[in-house]
Structure 1
Amino acid sequence: MANVRHLETTVQRVVTDILRNDVKDDLGFLTVTGVKITNELSYMYVYYSVYGDETQMSKTQEALNRANGYIKNQIAHRVKMRKVPELVFKIDESYEKGKRIDDLIKSIK
């Protein structure tokens, strides 16, 4: 379990570097917020947030989907893994959920 957590941290750092320096597509103002690797090492979920509206979010998702193979290949080169899991990008909605909850609490007062 500790090895998976260490691997998640390493992959998050590597993916952030790849997105910042290697991917030429317009990703907008993107932040990698976390990485979750399944126990059987078959999926690697990269959670991200994007500053902007729905249009910017969908443009970023499309750019990430286009770059998926390249990013996975780069992870394989930079991180010591026997098998590189399937890479899945997911938008991290925790900020929006937290903001909605905060707004609800403020509206009750």
Structure 2
Amino acid sequence: MPNNYRIAKISSLLKKEITLILQNDLENDLLRSNFINISKIELSGDLQFCKIYITSTAEEAIRKEIVEELNLAKTYIRHTLGQRIEMRRVPEMTFKDDTVLEKGLSVLKLLAELKNKKHNQDSKVEGNNKNV
């Protein structure tokens, strides 16, 4: 079974090469017209499967279309990877939408709202203390 260092190294190589394939080799207008970033690759311990998480600046509906298009093109991407890198077997790929960024932004928004509520409550308390 491969060690974590090897998995991390192969994940990094896959990320680099898949990014190049997405930028240069795919002839898809949807993919070319939207900014796509590979945020994370989860590679199985036996190097047979990988989940590729992507982020995009596009809206949620368009991101879902992008993920669908990438999953349709995964055979081509895998074949191209096989020509570019020396691996006994290129892993099976699944593209997924990475929603961590949106979740993080919603948490920050909630924290800002709580801070504003606390500030407003503190202001009201100070105003009441001045009147007494």
Query: Structure 1: 5+ residue runs without aligned partners?
Result: none
Q: What is the distance in 2 between the residues matched to 1:93 and 1:70? A: 25
Give the aligned CA root-mean-square deviation in angstroms: 1.1
In the TM superposition, what whole-angstrom CA distance separates every residue of 1:2-42 from its partner, at most 9, and x where no partner exists? 11100000000000000000011121221111212110222
Identify which of 51, 60, 74 aligns with 1:68. Answer: 74
Alignment of 1:1-109 (within 5 A): 1-25=4-28, 26-27=30-31, 28-109=34-115
Name whichever structure is richer in strand by fraction: 1
Partner-residue secondary structure (3-state), 2:73? helix
- Could you tell me the TM-score, scaled by structure 1's length? 0.93
CA distance in 2, matches of 1:42, 1:5: 14
Relative contact order: is structure 1 or structure 2 higher (C-alpha 8 Å, sep ≥ 6)? Answer: 1
Q: Deviations over 1:25-84 (max 9, x none)?
A: 121221111212110222111111011212211221221122110001111111221111
| Amino-acid identity (%) | 28
Larger Rg: 2
Q: Which ranges of structure 2 fall in alignment gaps of 5 or more residues?
A: 116-132
The structure that is helix-richer by fraction is: 2
Residue 100 of structure 2 aligns with an amino acid whose one-letter code is S
Aligned length: 109
Distance 2:43 2:71 in 1: 18
Q: Which moved more, 1:59-68 or 1:92-101?
A: 59-68
AA of the residue aligned to 1:23: L
